Amino acid sequence: MHIGGMARRGELSDRFIAAVVPASDHLVIVREGNEDGLFTKLSTQSKITLESVEKLAELDGVLRRIFRVK
């Protein structure tokens, strides 16, 4: 999960992201953090579902659905 925008991204964090994504089952991001398409590219390469939300407030519903919590 990446909940920061592009301001929270940089060379070092992008290397961590690239290392972790292939070991992931599902990606959830705030849309603003994917302006350069890095998460789209990595999720496609690793065949991992990518979900993006506009605002942090939307995470509750996404996480409840992913983890099947009512």
3-state helix, strand, coil in the chain (%, to 5): 55, 15, 25
Query: Does a structural domain hold residue 46?
Result: yes
Please provide the DSSP assignment of 13-26 as one string. Answer: HHHHHHHHGGG-SE
pTM for the predicted model, two decimal places: 0.86
Query: Does a structural domain hold residue 60?
Result: yes
> pLDDT tens digits for 44-57?
999 999 999 999 99
Q: Are 27 and 50 in contact (CB under 8 A)?
A: yes
> pLDDT tens digits for 17-36?
999 999 999 999 999 999 99
Counted domains in the chain: 1
Query: Does a structural domain hold residue 56?
Result: yes
Rounded to whole angstroms, the Cα distance separating 69 from 14 reads 31
Query: Does a structural domain hold residue 59?
Result: yes
Query: Does a structural domain hold residue 33?
Result: yes
Query: Does a structural domain hold residue 1?
Result: no
Full residue range of the structural domain in which residue 36 is found: 6-66
